[in-house]
Amino acid sequence: MMEKESGRLVNCATLPICLVLISLVYATFFHSNDTILESWGNLSSEKINIDAVDPQEFLLRRLVRGDDRVQLDSNGFSCRADVHTQVCVANKPVRIYYKGLTVYVPSDSDQPQVKRIVKPYARLEDETAMKRVSPVQILHGKNTIDPPACNFTHNVTAVVFSSKGFTGNVFHEFNEIIIPLFITTRHFRSRVRFVITDFELWWVQKYNRCLSHLSAYEVINPGTDDGSVHCFPGAVIGLTYHDNLALNSTDIPGGYSMFDFKQFLKESYNLKINHVSEIQKPMLMLISRRKTRRFLNEDKMVEMIMELGFQITRVEPEWMYNLDEFAEVVNSCSVMLGAHGAGLTNEIFLPTGAVMVQVVPLQNEWVATTYYGGPAKEMGVRYLEYKIEPEESSLFDTYGKDHPVFTDPKSIISKGYNAFRSVYLDQDLKINLERFKKTLIEAKQIVESSTPIN
């Protein structure tokens, strides 16, 4: 018996051999933790005709729930918005006119055409960020005028998002684009194509490994297009956002967690070290800042760190531009140490069981814990804080201990973010080495006693 498979002839001399081949093909296509079959299992309350399901429609459908899913099922299009982001999903063929950033979504009903404006960046609540994000116009409903004809036709879903906003800051790059992109598209298994508005070439190059592991297709820059129309079988405009450096696995198709995201980064950047116990001698990375929240006695800190038995690598912001190389450096470290700031985002590359030590400047307790402390625990990273005393801040010499900066910080904070930033984010730090030594000793004890969980 001969059967044709993927353009080749397969010799099935016996029924058992055929069954083995069939089972292997079946396993390859379906058997993973986020496959379509498992997805059907997650929707046990619904009756689905497997033979009638289009894979793309099914995967798009998984992005919405409740009334949004009902709406998507009824007319092929739904939009939702929360305080952080807007996301629109179309599981019908769409046409995207690049020059005007207009998405045409057809409708089978006679409902009048509705225009929606979406800014596809996950920081909707921040006016400063959103001023940098170009709007995408979505036209849905019965067209009074036929949409423009297709110049290019694609066979995978389009995912439209902006690479502007607060890019240039690694925290925001991961928080508002890379993690939301993972949440939104990982379950498509690379069968999507990214249409990046406000196209920043440096950003695309910096995160090329992440982009290429989420999509098997070259990214599209509509800004260089001459006004052509690209057609897709479906589209997602905007990205799903959960929280600061966070994934809520119960709200993600496939149930992905922060552990899965770290595994995705490990594969993307070819990171070798899984657990801190694989590092022979404790390596500490010191993030050296050059503008604000500087360590004024950094050289003395380095001496003490080495005396405690650590190897040390001191890194400056420009090291982080080449993420392909920097991710490997972070992955080789047992401890990451730095003052509160965007550089601590790189804790996502630390091996499981490593320690992140955050030095917390005055009045930065909430942002320090919220942005980096809480997320560290979900990453399998141990988290330690060193909260400075007033005497360790440059504000002490600038204002004196009786100034409202110390005695009534609420009076400063109540004036708004700019006032807070100019005082509490611009302070420098002179660390009390004897007090700080206790935190470093604790970090060293943690990594030396850490063992992988089998």
Q: What is the pLDDT of residues 218-243, one digit of tens each?
A: 999 998 877 899 999 999 999 999 99
Q: Which of these three, 253, 268, 293, is where a domain ends?
A: 253
For residues 398 and 155, give the distance between their C-alpha atoms in angstroms, rounded to a whole number.
62
CA-based nearest residue to 178, from 62, 269, 88 = 269
3-class SS of residue 352: strand
- Shared domain for 217 and 295, answered yes or no, is no
Number of residues written out for the chain: 454
- From residue 174, alpha-carbon distances to 6, 168, 207, 244, 245 in Å are 39, 11, 10, 9, 7
Q: Which of these three, 253, 285, 302, is where a domain ends?
A: 253
**Contact call for residues 58 and 49 (beta carbons, < 8 A):** no
**Contact call for residues 174 and 241 (beta carbons, < 8 A):** no
* Residue 261 domain-assigned (yes or no): no
CA-based nearest residue to 332, from 375, 269, 261, 257 = 269
Can you give the pLDDT at residue 141?
Answer: 82
* Residue 18 domain-assigned (yes or no): no
For residues 454 and 452, give the distance between their C-alpha atoms in angstroms, rounded to a whole number.
6
| DSSP letter for each residue of 216-266 | SS--B-GGG--S-EEEES-EEES----BTTB--GGGSTT---HHHHHHHHH
Q: In the numeric block, which tokens belong to residue 205?
A: 């190059």
- Shared domain for 295 and 235, answered yes or no, is no
- Shared domain for 113 and 180, answered yes or no, is yes
- Shared domain for 333 and 232, answered yes or no, is no
* Residue 247 domain-assigned (yes or no): yes
- Shared domain for 136 and 74, answered yes or no, is yes
pTM reported for the whole predicted model: 0.87
SS3 content of the chain, % helix, strand, coil (to 5): 40, 20, 35
- Shared domain for 281 and 371, answered yes or no, is yes
- Shared domain for 243 and 206, answered yes or no, is yes
Question: One digit per residue, pLDDT tens: the chain, 454 residues?
Answer: 333 333 333 333 444 444 444 344 434 433 343 333 333 334 333 444 434 457 888 999 999 999 999 999 988 999 999 999 999 999 999 999 988 899 999 887 777 788 999 999 999 999 999 999 999 999 998 765 678 899 999 999 999 999 999 999 999 999 999 999 999 999 999 999 999 999 999 999 999 999 999 999 999 999 887 789 999 999 999 999 999 999 999 999 989 999 999 999 999 999 999 999 999 999 999 999 999 999 999 999 999 999 999 999 999 988 888 999 999 999 999 999 999 999 999 999 999 999 999 999 999 999 999 999 999 999 999 999 999 999 999 999 999 999 999 999 999 999 999 999 999 999 999 999 999 999 999 999 999 998 886 6
* Residue 186 domain-assigned (yes or no): yes
Residue with tokens 């018996």: 1
- Shared domain for 298 and 245, answered yes or no, is no
Continuous H helices in 31-143? 36-42, 55-61, 66-75, 127-130
The CATH number of the domain where 299 resides is what? 3.40.50
* Residue 128 domain-assigned (yes or no): yes
* Residue 177 domain-assigned (yes or no): yes
Q: Which of these three, 196, 221, 253, is where a domain ends?
A: 253
Cα 396 to its chain centre, rounded Å, is 38
Q: What is the pLDDT of residues 300-317, one digit of tens each?
A: 999 999 999 999 999 998
Q: Please state whether beta strands 77-81 and 8-11 pair in parallel, antiparallel, or not at all (unpaired).
A: unpaired
- Shared domain for 95 and 240, answered yes or no, is yes
**Contact call for residues 358 and 368 (beta carbons, < 8 A):** yes
- Shared domain for 436 and 315, answered yes or no, is yes
Cα dihedral value 407, 408, 409, 411, nearest 10 = -150
- Shared domain for 287 and 180, answered yes or no, is no
CA-based nearest residue to 186, from 254, 272, 90 = 254
* Residue 153 domain-assigned (yes or no): yes
- Shared domain for 104 and 233, answered yes or no, is yes
Domain count, the chain: 2
For residues 288 and 97, give the distance between their C-alpha atoms in angstroms, rounded to a whole number.
45
Task: Identify any residues that bridge with 51 across adjacent strands, giving them in sequence order.
Answer: none
* Residue 30 domain-assigned (yes or no): no
**Contact call for residues 406 and 423 (beta carbons, < 8 A):** no
* CA gyration radius, the chain: 26
Residue 422 domain boundaries? 276-449
Q: In the numeric block, which tokens belong to residue 397?
A: 């010499």
For residues 144 and 308, give the distance between their C-alpha atoms in angstroms, rounded to a whole number.
74
